[in-house]
Amino acid sequence: MPRAILIYIGAIEAMNRVIGRMAMYLIFVLMAVLLWSSTSKVFMTPSAWTLETAQFVMVAYFVLGGPYSIQLGSNVRMDLFYGDWSPKTKAWVDAITVFFLIFYLGVLLYGGLVSTAYSLGYFGSEPFDFFLSLITTFFTEGPSAAGEKLGFLERSPTAWRPWLWPIKTILCLGVFLMILQSLAEFFKDIGRLRGVLD
């Protein structure tokens, strides 16, 4: 197996391991938010921000922990026949079916990027051009010039009205990391089929 692919697998797995293990602690943030929500409802005026904050933290917990879950093989499988197969048969099936996962994640990422561009005030049909222009302007002209490219920032229609672009950005990042981890899994399956990896 080429050294570049082994480096890719090692780098992606190390990065997703760190991010996934950090994301695990978001469950405690979620618990704290829900505890405050319950306490404020009983003893004070209920806080308007707790429900959406809990939802945002749960999304971050789920999508940032997803690549680590794939890496550990702890994601849910439809295990009707799979458990009885040999490691080589599993590697064959995984090497083929991972393309369905990558296609799904690609469509999800595209939709997430379109939605994120919308939340930043872009209402056109070319979100990639918008992001490229935004990044180029940020690095060449500075943050204030990039800020001028943003339109009306989308807010949630609730009483708290938080901006939606931060959670949509986290969603896109998590899906992108899942695509990278899925590619690493594909390369590992090829390595298993060739007898290079365990």
pLDDT grade, residue 124 (50/70/90)? confident
Query: What is the rounded CA–CA span in Å between residue 97 and residue 75?
Result: 14
Phi-psi region of 123 (alpha: psi -120 to 50; beta: other; left: phi over 0): alpha
Which comes out higher in pLDDT, residue 196 or 34? 34
109, 67 Cβ separation under 8 angstroms: no
Does position 117 have pLDDT exceeding 90, yes or no? yes
Q: What is the mean pLDDT of residues 7-29?
A: 96
The token pair at 182 is: 């899925």
pLDDT of 198 strictly over 80: no
pLDDT value at position 195?
Answer: 83
60: pLDDT confidence band, cut at 50, 70 and 90? Answer: very high
Task: Provide the mean pLDDT of the chain.
Answer: 92
Q: What whole-number distance in Å separates Cα of residue 50 and Cα of residue 37?
A: 6
Distance CA 155, CA 182 (A): 33
Which phi and psi angles does 21 have, rounded to 5°?
A: -70, -30
Return the minimum-mean-pLDDT range out of 4-18, 64-78, 116-130: 64-78
What's residue 171's pLDDT? 97
Identify the pLDDT of residue 76. 72
pLDDT digits (tens, 9 = 90+) for 62-109: 999 999 999 998 877 777 788 788 889 989 999 999 999 999 999 999
**Is it the case that residue 15 has pLDDT exceeding 80?**
yes
Q: CA–CA separation, 187 vs 114, rounded Å?
A: 29
pLDDT of residue 84: 85
Indicate the pTM of the whole model.
Answer: 0.89
Give the number of other Cβ atoms within 10 Å of residue 35's Cβ: 11
* Angle value at C-alpha 30, between 29 and 32, nearest 5 degrees: 65
Please tell me the predicted confidence (pLDDT) of residue 85: 86
> Using 50, 70 and 90 to split pLDDT, how confident is the model at 1?
confident
